[in-house]
Amino acid sequence: MKADNVLEVVDLKTHFLTEEGTLPAVDGVTFSIPRGRTLALVGESGCGKTVTSYSILRLVQSPGRIVGGQIRLLPRRGEPIDVAQLAEGDEHLFHIRGGLVSMIFQEPVAALSPVHTIGAHLAEALQLHEEVSRAEARRRAIEILRKVGIAAPERRVDQYPHELSGGMRQRVGIAIALICHPELLIADEPTTALDVTIQAQILHLIKSLQRELGCSVLLITHDLGVVAQVADEVAVMYLGRIVEHGPVREVIKHPRHPYTQGLLQSIPALNVGRRLASIPGSVPPLNAIPSGCPFHPRCPFAQPGRCDVGGPPDLRTVSTGREVACVRAEEILP
């Protein structure tokens, strides 16, 4: 039986074609998101998470370009759409952005205009995709504000962004993303700008709204600690490629890629009473990607002549539902 996916990304390549050369920010990424499920895309800063999510909405700006692969959206109704193939002004894109697929941004402040009320933002988002009267738009705005946990929504709807706290503004960002009932919600580091207690609230909110509204979620984060609470599956990204993929619980309990192991060892909440270790070195720039396994210079298990030669290892199935891009995966079981 074919899985009921809302999104299938196949061998996506999004490169920046600069004067100094080609920067492969996303270089052969494959994943799918089943309907109603949450996939977390995890990795250090600069690994290509945002470029992946922008590719799905076709928001990548020049000199960035999708140079290969497919981004198949499979709406409940209607034909599948390969977003990668759409021309810039294609009307499908208009229906996709904020309609079929919507996005919560990292900086809620930047996404809100200071001169418009919360209600005006919500009405605008709604009226882009549905023909509704002003009274109906207001009713729907109040309804979605209540859903995202904003108290006294009848009053808040007429306030301006500066009258709200950071956490509340992010709730408004979520309300804007959800008002048209998207089938896929992309949340790119939705809690990074917020303080820790608010972070947990926002993640729980996303999770409960997902259940209630039945949408799928692509959750992007650099923090493997948060995915355990929210996601069903996790894909770990390093230098534009997925290096490990599987069910969240299994990946966290038995990480198979040394990069995933390193990420997990650096999370305080998962290592109470143990010494924290950080991954040595830093992510190399895209114009100096190491030969062989791109992670080998930072890898405690790297073997000369084996891990540092040839091209990057393929992502391969190591057990049911588990994929790892490491030639030593079987030898280095934790």
Ligand X SMILES: Nc1ncnc2c1ncn2[C@@H]1O[C@H](COP(=O)(O)OP(=O)(O)O)[C@@H](O)[C@H]1O
Q: Which residues pair with 70 in a beta bridge?
A: 10
Q: Taking CB within 5 to 8 Å according to partner kind, which of ligand X, Mg ion, none is near residue 286? A: ligand X
- Letters for 48-87 (x = contact with Mg ion by CB under 5 A, - = none) are -xx-------------------------------------
DSSP 189: S
- Give least dist CB 83 to ligand X, A: 17
Report yes or no: 315 and 323 within 8 Å, Cβ to Cβ: yes
Q: CB-wise, 122 or 194, nearer to Mg ion?
A: 194
- Give least dist CB 16 to ligand X, A: 4
- Give least dist CB 189 to Mg ion, A: 6
Q: CB-wise, 9 or 179, nearer to ligand X?
A: 9
- Give least dist CB 49 to Mg ion, A: 5
191 forms part of the interface with Mg ion (CB under 5 A): no
Helix (H) or strand (E) holding 67: strand 64-73
- Give least dist CB 196 to Mg ion, A: 20
CA distance 134 to 223: 41
Longest dimension (CA), the chain: 69
Give the Å distances, CA to CA, from 177 to 98, 144, 159, 190, 279. 7, 10, 19, 12, 35
- Give least dist CB 270 to Mg ion, A: 22
Q: CB-wise, 50 or 210, nearer to ligand X?
A: 50
**Token pair of 283 as six digits:** 């992510």
Give the Å distances, CA to CA, from 215 to 105, 264, 273. 17, 28, 38
Q: CB-wise, 60 or 302, nearer to ligand X?
A: 60
Q: Which stretch binds Mg ion (CB under 5 A): 45-53, 177-185, 260-268, 292-300?
A: 45-53
Q: Taking CB within 5 to 8 Å according to partner kind, which of ligand X, Mg ion, none is near residue 262? A: none
Place of tokens 């992010």: 170
Q: CB-wise, 133 or 278, nearer to ligand X?
A: 278
**Burial zone of 276 (CB within 10 Å; 0-12 exposed, 13-18 middle, 19+ buried):** exposed
Q: Taking CB within 5 to 8 Å according to partner kind, which of ligand X, Mg ion, none is near residue 173? A: none
Residues of the chain by 3-state class (helix, strand, coil), percent to 5 = 35, 25, 40
Q: CB-wise, 50 or 216, nearer to Mg ion?
A: 50
Q: Taking CB within 5 to 8 Å according to partner kind, which of ligand X, Mg ion, none is near residue 46? A: ligand X
Helix (H) or strand (E) holding 143: helix 134-147
Which amino acid is it at 286?
L
- Give least dist CB 289 to ligand X, A: 10
Q: Taking CB within 5 to 8 Å according to partner kind, which of Mg ion, ligand X, none is near residue 47? A: ligand X
Q: CB-wise, 47 or 234, nearer to ligand X?
A: 47
* Site residues, ligand X (CB under 6 A): 16, 23, 25, 43, 45-51, 64, 286
Q: Residue 181: which region, alpha, beta or left (left: phi > 0; alpha: psi -120 to 50)?
A: left
Catalog residues that contact Mg ion under the rule CB under 5 A: 49-50
